[in-house]
Structure 1
Amino acid sequence: MSPVILSFCMLSLLVAVSKTSADEAAGDHCPLASHKMGKIGGVIDYGSRVGKEMKVAMEMAAEDFARSSCSKQLVLQIEDSSGDSARDAFFSLTLSAPVSFENNGVNASYRIAAAVELVDSNQVQALIGTMSAQDTGHLSKIDKNIKYLPIISLTSPAITPPSIAHQLPHFFQFSDHITFHIQCLAAIVGHFKWRKVTVIYESKNGFSAYSGILTLLSDTLKTVNTEIEHHSTFPPMSSLSNPGAFIEQELIDMRRRSNRVFVVVMSSLKMAVLLFSKAKRLGMMEKGYVWIVTDEIASLLNSVDSSVVDNMQGVIGFRTEFARTSKPFKRFRSRFRSKYRSEYPEEEEYCNPSIFALRAYDATWAIAQTMKNSTGKSSSKDLSKGISSRIFRGVSGVIRFKNNVLWQLPWFQIINVVGNSYREMAVWSPESGFSKTLEKRNDVNSSSSFEEWGPVYWPGGKGSVPRGWVISEKDKPFKIGIPSMGAFREFVHVSFDQANNKTCATGFSIKVFEATLKRLPYDFPYEFVPFNGPYDEMVKQVYNKELDGAVGDFSIEPGRFRYAEFSQPYIDSRLVMIVTTKSVKKITWMLKTFTKKLWLLIVAMHMFIGCLVWILERGSNTEFEGIGGMIWFSVTVIFYAHGQSLRNSLSRVVVAPWLFVILVVTACFTADLSSRMTVSRLEPSILDIDTLLKTNASAGCNANSFVGQYLTNVLHFKPENIRRFYSESDYLEAFETGYIKAAFFVEPHAKVFLGKYCNHFTQAKSTFPLGGFGYVFAKDSPLVFDMSEAILKVVESGEMRQLERILSSPNCSSDALRDNSSLDLEPFTGLFILSGSISAFGFLVAILRMGRNLQILSCIQRVLTKRRILRWASIHFSKENSTIPKTKDQVQTSTSVELELTNFAH
């Protein structure tokens, strides 16, 4: 190669390397842009962690877009909504525009003023920032041109009041709507079955202005049987002179209440850090407490130091889920960390990007991409149309707007703060509910409960799910009403201890209540309050909160559920009718010993067996030929068999079990008949309620119970025929004088009454199911669940059976309570089945024997011949025929059959 050529090659290589180095230094490999890009404005809070992340991300997006599109004309102008320029703009705006900002607060007013400054002074074509729908609504009133300016709101969660949504056609909410946040929150609360929560929120971003948020939260929680017991509104931290003192006092007030489930929504990170610091100092991060945080806090846990995480041990939260393992996110995170460290070196250790940084980056990129794709100078309407019609793929995922809100449904990751970080437990979506991971969201085998994937670390450490409430200082002691004038003292008996100056209560209901309290996992201070009046009035006292509960023999019935809730029944109950008894000694007809069904079955079986034995014995005993012989043999079959005159072995097999049945039935008949003739029997004077209604007789009931209304409304008694009494002695006098013919008691009361007076009263056949006895508590009281669980423990332990002995009485003899009904078929069912089966078999054999001379027998014999058992059949028939005397015709027939069988055999 010549030196000239070599020199030329070396020069070309140096030029190429120099050009490449120059291009890399410039950051791109493209010529100067030939078209002009627009301006994008940003309104964020530089003083907040979210604002810092958004600022860095938006600047990254502008740099990346300029590098990728070969353009240096994209201008990004960001205003600090809490800085001096925003304040100056606010004051100048209030002097020139007659607009009131009182409802939005100072911070919102600064945001609006900063946005106006960007639009009017800097001529931006689109806005990005933390402006809410309320802010934008006020902004459009100040400047009509702003009404059509594309605005992408990064406020999370998205809140759009219905009255404002249609007024802002170019307002885009790049965040999940608050409805989904509230649904996820309700799903967590409902999973652990907490019945009451306390809501804590910061009045920012229009939360207090849109009063429907609290209503939406309350309605959603009601779908999981939960209600908001108390809500506490914290003003913005910047408006408080001493935020720590304010938060501490609020927490002290909440600690005095019984509820222990706290939900922090719509809160800034600054407020949450101070809140949990004060909560830990006040002992509100210990065992028994529950804390739940929403996306605004949970998404920033990577951005706080270890002291903040230490104060939040056991907190449950949910954050927006995205592809954290994707390559675009990993590249973005690496560059974000580098840039964030350079701008905020004091936060170098905690510089991981959150979902808010990703969305700020994607929003800036989406607007810039729309501007680039627009031909010529694009108007605000063109930009809005381009944003709403395009699908963007960013680091936060697929971005698509429908009706100016995110089109895709969100996924929230459920986390649990443990140790120096947090544990990822599950993901949740509005469509699928809980699932284990985002990858298994469509797995049919995926569990619907995130608790199954490991124990939850609660405040105070691992353990069972906190109950969510305790007995607070305000609840001591509980006022428990008891009936002082109950009809039966065996259930509740009230007395006054003058020595100790206190009310004493005893009885079955009180003993069960005391046993139940021992099963509660906490102390239950209470005092009994005697109540002299109807039970329904005592239930209403609980409804009016004059009583915290009521203990006694309260029947659980539907009408009372309007005013209170009941525990699990501690004893079952029915409505029974009690009447006087009448003595029965004389036996006119012995037939009453058995029921008609049993008599008919005995006669039918006897005749059937008699006829069957007659068929089997007819060839051996000529005296029983004809219909008359059959009838006589059927009548005398037992005596005939007893005299051992039966010659056929099959007849003996049929008759033997029937003889045993007759023996047993005869013994029972003799025993029952002897009892009826010697022992005085008691029968109800009135058999059932129909008889009582037909005779228009009067009935008595407890004056303090619901039974009177039940008799009138359900059983259709005339009101004038119902007599009400206050004590059991009143019933005795009323029965003696004929004032009433029957009395209606709930079953536990009836057992006590009959235990004392069983020689004179008995229970009629009419009974009506009821709900049992239970304890009364206020509606939505958490005591209902705990007491019900404790009652079941008392029942399972066997203690309830021992306590029921209080209601028993030794005064009743077993003879007086004996049943007067006749003997039915049930005791003899097995015997009749046995005898009937054997008789049926004998009948089948008899039919086969009768048909052996017919052509059917020949067919059977041909089949048997093929089975090689004809020889056995031939021998069997020949032996049997030899033992039975035959007529001349029979001998000929038998001989022909034997010859035929022999021929077949050979």
Structure 2
Amino acid sequence: MSGGLSFFLVLLSLLSSAKPDGSQDKCQITQQITARVGCVIDHSSRVGKEQKVAMEMAIQDLSKSICARVDLHLKDSQGNSARATAAAISLLSSKQVVAIIGTLTMQEAALLSEIENSFPIISLTSTATSPPSESLQWPISIQIANNVAFHMQCVAALVGHFQWRKVTAVYEHNNEFSSHLGIITLLSDSLRLVSSDIEHYQAFPLLPSVSNPEALVEEELKKLRSKSNRVFIVMQFSLQSAVIFFEKAKQLGMMDKGYVWIVTDEIANLLDSVETSVKYNMQGVIGIKTHFAETSFKQFKTRFRRIYGLRYPEEEENSSPSIFALRAYDAIWATGRAIKILQQGNVTSKELSQKILSTAFQGQSGMIEFKNGMLSQPPTFQIINVIGRSYREMAFWSPRYGFSENLMKHTDMNAFAEVLGPIYWPGGLQTTPKGWTPVDVDRPLKIGVPAMGAFTQFVNVRYDPDTNETDISGFSIDVFEAAVKHLPYQLPYEFVPLNGSYDEMVELVSNKSLDAAVGDIEVIADRYHYVEFTQPYISSGLEMVVTVKPDKLKETEMLVWPFTREMWFLLFVTHLSVCLVACLMEIVHGRSLEDIGAFWFWVDCLLFAPREQFKNPWARLLLAPWLLAIVVVTATFTASLSSMMTVSRVQPSVLDIETLKMTNATVGCNGNSFIVRYLINVLEFRPENIKSIASISDYPEAFERKDITAAFFVSPHAKVFLAKYCNARFTKTGSVYKPSGFGFVFQKGSPLAIDISEAMLEATESGQVEKLEKQMLSSYNCSSPINSNNGSIGPEPFSGLFLIAGLACALAFLVTIVRLVREHWRNFLPGNVLVEVELQPNPVN
């Protein structure tokens, strides 16, 4: 089709689309207000073509509706920043335009401020950005777009929902973000709010300006493929570049299982206008596109498709308008409405700027109202999933409500999975990808292990000179290997023995010289700042071990050990009370102290064989419960004394750390561990009083030579030490200071830390870790543990017997006292005296 015929058909289409009500006749040429407006777009790009058609439609509608005429002067930027700037300057100088509409970036617009600082530039970029606050030379920028921060928040919400800890950001380089990398900063800030971060980012040049874009994309994608991260955020990409990008990603196997691709507005909004072959290269991609109301969109779409198909017949099948066409249409309308309000023949740039910024109307793309030079109404994004020849609309997201199934029904993040439904991931994967691959393709993990640990039971590094091989074993190694077996994937790794301290090994992980570290590494707060720890695989605590000494003083008093002082006192008082009351009852019954034999009576009660028969039945009743109590107490005394005579009785040589500090004693510990810092900074020991001990076998010698008075171990090490030297007179004493435990170390933010923690919990719940710990401790076969607890028995177990005997004694005493009072009271009555006198016989003269 010739160019003249094509132009004729387009003109005919525009004329035929006019309303048949004759509204175009209402405006006379002399009544129309005219303004010259420049336009800089890329005529060769899909977005540029849509914008051009939409603006021509808007100019026609303006002329018919409000008698405002916009004289549009088009310039082609050819997708080049320098050409765009030059074209805008040319329009300002030669055409005397009052405003420029186009895809000018903030940096490109800044150059125009040298000519006219109050000149309005209506930007049609996909996202809006605020100019740096320190600059005072930015022109009046009117951005018909939403703040780019909203786009990054939506991306972060998706990443946070699927709990991907790391992402790779990919964007096409342009002037807008060349100096400050603003889009990366915004994305990073949003990701931190969902506990995620950018692991890598890659800037691609403008591919249309590269001589061999396919080779460049392939080379850069291979670099990204060699990284462990598999979550890619593609943003600020032109459609032409995105087609090349995903074609090469498909060829390199980066659209297979395990990969995640998220594309933003620039690509997602144009999926309706690409060939089916392009969508086949993007299967499983998640897109974020700006949603707009479709109240009048159908009519607009019909007109647009007809005109676009005539203008670009080779793209007729994919001629649906995108959000970029709608915003271009609204940009012309905003300019025309401002011109109409001014009602002047000649419109100045400053006046036009003020009117555009204060305008407010319902456009094709939504509400057109500005705040701080950009659209004030927060956007609503639609989440889509590319499947087959098209895509599935899954959910909506807005800054206020988050994810929702539709615009009228909102939901929370917990129900988001139900809103989304099943997602088609790249490669047809049915479950959510974990977002990373364990290691690089050709390199196993380098895992550091301590080669000079004091306790080789946890990590033992042995070198065999005959075979030139290094054997690494121990409890920590066994636990790590058990956890790896529970991983749902293969994890190739190799151990690297290190001769430095534990802090040095952790630092090597932090600076990425090592991928991880395995061993008896304590989880402490200051290490958490620069590395990631797994779940502790064994609990820990700082304990003090000292020598023990026999309690020679107590050996001479062994007969009193079975009972406490309180028990002996209670026995004596109760026995004395019962015997006294029993004697008193016998005296009341008419017996004398000589008849009773008071001293032997007390002893007979203990031997259960009173020498004299009780005549008072109340005395027999009183003695019965007490004799029963004596039987029980005697049996308990015999059993406890027998046990004590067969067990070694010792006590710690030092009771607590305060004694150590007051006596300025020297203590020993593993010099390569955190214990040295802990003793100095927390427990306030003097550095000169801390002696470094290199091996577990050196501790007994140091105690014997009096080099140290006490040794400090973490709890797992203390268990091993006491198990190995259980007959060497050592014991734990003092308080237990509680760090977290032993864990494995990974680089900060490494997803492996989470997977290994989960696998380690599975190994623990299955009993494997406990079994490995028992195997480590059982190899020493310790059968004679030292007992430093005296185990004396108090009165609590016999409280019932003492209560019964005490009540019986009190009751008997009370009854006896009452009888004595009554007898004495009778003796003093007058009647009794007279009777006695009268009964006396008369004396014989």
TM-score (norm 2): 0.81
Q: Deviations over 1:835-857 (max 9, x none)?
A: 99x99xx99xx9xxxxxxxxxxx
Q: Distance in 2 between matches of 1:794 and 1:334?
A: 63
> CA 1:563–1:168 in 2, change beyond 3 Å: closer, same or farther?
closer
Q: What is the alpha-carbon distance in structure 2 between the residues aligned to residue 464 and residue 337 of structure 1?
A: 39
Aligned equivalent of 1:767: 736
Alignment of 1:547-558 (within 5 A): 547-558=514-525
- Contact kept in structure 2, 1:567 and 1:774, CA below 8 Å: yes
Matched, 1:470 2:437: yes
Q: State the distance in 1 between where 2:291 and 2:799 align.
A: 74
**Other structure's SS at 1:263 match:** strand
* 8 Å contact from structure 1 (residues 434, 450) kept in 2: no
The root-mean-square deviation of aligned C-alpha atoms, in Å, is 4.0
2:773 to 804, 811, 829: 804
Instruction: Give, as a single letter, the amino acid of the residue that structure 2 aligns with 1:45.
Output: D
* Greater shift in the superposed pair: 551-560 or 260-269: 551-560
**CA drift at 1:503:** 1.0
The number of equivalent residue pairs is 765
In structure 1, the residue matched to 2:664 is 696
Contact in 1 for aligned 2:234/2:264 (Cα 8 Å)? yes
Taking a change above 3 Å as real, the CA distance of residues 205 and 486 of structure 1, as seen in their structure-2 partners, is: closer
Offset at residue 425 of structure 1 (A): 2.8
Residue of structure 1 aligned with 2:364, choices 370, 376, 395: 395
Does 2:489 align with 1:492?
Answer: no
Alpha-carbon shift at residue 549 of structure 1 (Å): 2.5
Tell me the equivalent position of 1:755: 723
The answer to whether structure 1 residue 56 and structure 2 residue 53 are counterparts is yes
Is contact 1:42–1:127 with CA below 8 Å preserved after alignment?
Answer: yes
Residue identity in the other structure for 1:134: Q
Q: Which residue of 2 aligns with 1:13?
A: none
Alpha-carbon spacing, 1:472–1:807, altered in 2? closer, same or farther (3 Å): closer
Distance 1:394 1:664, change over 3 A: farther
- Give the structure 2 partner of residue 172 of structure 1: 142
Structure-1 separation of matches of 2:292 and 2:71: 27
- Whether 2:105 is the aligned partner of 1:138: answer no
Would the aligned equivalents of 1:413 and 1:427 in 2 still touch at CA under 8 Å? yes
Separation of aligned partners in 2, 1:60 and 1:826: 103
Contact 1:484 1:532 in 2 (8 A): yes
- Aligned counterpart, 2:841: none
Aligned equivalents of 2:150, 2:773: Cα separation in 1? 52
Residue 663 of structure 1 deviates from its aligned partner by: 7.7
What displacement does 1:452 show? Answer: 5.6
Q: Does 1:345 align with 2:313?
A: yes
Amino acid at match of 2:119: L
Partner of residue 593, structure 2: none
1:162 Cα shift?
0.7
Does the C-alpha gap of structure 1 residues 693 and 394 become closer, same or farther in structure 2, counting only changes over 3 Å? Answer: same
Which of the residues 663, 675, 683 maps onto 1:707?
675
Question: C-alpha separation between the residues in 2 aligned to 1:301 and 1:456?
Answer: 18
> Residue 671 of structure 1 is aligned with which of 636, 639, 643?
639
Rate the CA distance shift 1:751–1:826 in 2: closer, same or farther, 3 A: farther
Q: 1:393 & 1:601 partners in 2: Cα distance?
A: 96
Indicate if the aligned counterparts of 2:131 and 2:138 stay in contact, CA closer than 8 A.
no
Residue 705 of structure 2 corresponds to residue 737 of structure 1 = yes
Superposed counterparts of 1:578-657, under 5 Å? 578-584=545-551, 586=555, 588=557, 592-594=561-563
Shift of 1:769: 0.9
1:124-273 residue pairs with structure 2 within 5 A? 124-141=97-114, 143-144=115-116, 147-162=117-132, 166-168=136-138, 170-204=140-174, 206-273=176-243
**Displacement, 1:796?**
1.6
Deviation at residue 175 of structure 1 after TM alignment: 0.5
Amino acid at match of 1:81: D
Q: Is 1:382–2:355 an aligned residue pair?
A: no
For 2:44, which of 39, 43, 47 is the aligned residue?
A: 47
Deviation for aligned residue 1:133:
1.8
Contact 2:534 2:756 (8 Å CA) reproduced: yes
- The DSSP-based 3-state class of the residue aligned with 2:683 is coil
1: distance between equivalents of 2:759 and 2:244?
A: 40
One-letter amino acid of the structure 1 residue matched with residue 258 of structure 2: G
Tell me, yes or no, if structure 1 residue 115 matches structure 2 residue 88: yes
Cα 1:833/1:336, change in 2 over 3 Å: farther
Q: 2: distance between equivalents of 1:389 and 1:661?
A: 101
Structure 1: where are the runs of 5+ without partners? 1-21, 84-105, 615-621, 624-635, 847-906
Q: Distance in 2 between matches of 1:644 and 1:454?
A: 96
Which residue number in structure 1 is paired with residue 688 of structure 2?
Answer: 720
By how many angstroms is 1:789 displaced? 2.0
Q: Is the 8 A contact 2:57 2:329 kept in 1?
A: yes
Q: How does 1:362-377 map to 2 (within 5 A)?
A: 362-377=330-345
Uncovered stretches (5+) of structure 2, i.e. residues with no partner: 1-17, 582-587, 590-604, 609-613, 812-845
Counterpart-to-counterpart distance in 2, 1:549 and 1:353:
52
Matched, 1:77 2:68: no
**SS of alignment partner, residue 228 of structure 1:** strand
**2-side partners of 1:430 and 1:660: how far apart?**
82
Find the aligned partners of 1:55 and 1:136 in 2 and give their Cα distance: 20
For residues 514-525 of structure 1, the aligned pairs below 5 Å read 514-525=481-492
Identify the residue that residue 68 of structure 1 maps to in structure 2: 65
Q: 2:32 aligns with which of 8, 33, 36?
A: 36
- Measure the CA separation in 1 of the matches of 2:384 and 2:727: 70
Secondary structure (helix, strand or coil) at the match of 2:791 reads coil
Is the partner of 2:178 in helix, strand or coil? Answer: coil
Closer, same or farther in 2 for the Cα pair 1:709/1:134, shift >3 Å? closer
**Contact 2:27-2:64 at 8 Å conserved across structures:** no
1:563: Cα distance to partner?
A: 4.8
Q: Does 1:504 align with 2:465?
A: no
**Counterpart amino acid of residue 69 in structure 2:** L
Change (3 A) 1:136 1:814: same
Displacement after TM superposition at 1:508 (Å): 0.8
Shift of 1:213: 3.5
Pairing partner for 1:682 from 638, 644, 650: 650
Task: Tell me the TM-score normalised to structure 1 length.
Answer: 0.76
- In structure 2, the CA distance between the partners of 1:580 and 1:110, relative to structure 1 (3 Å rule), is same
In structure 2, the partner of 1:777 is 746
> What are the Cα deviations for residues 586-605 of structure 1, in whole angstroms up to 9, with x where unaligned?
2627665455677899999x
Label 1:785 to 1:446 Cα distance change in 2 as closer, same or farther (>3 A).
closer
AA matched with 1:478: L
Question: Do 1:436 and 1:450's aligned partners in 2 also have CA atoms closer than 8 Å?
Answer: no
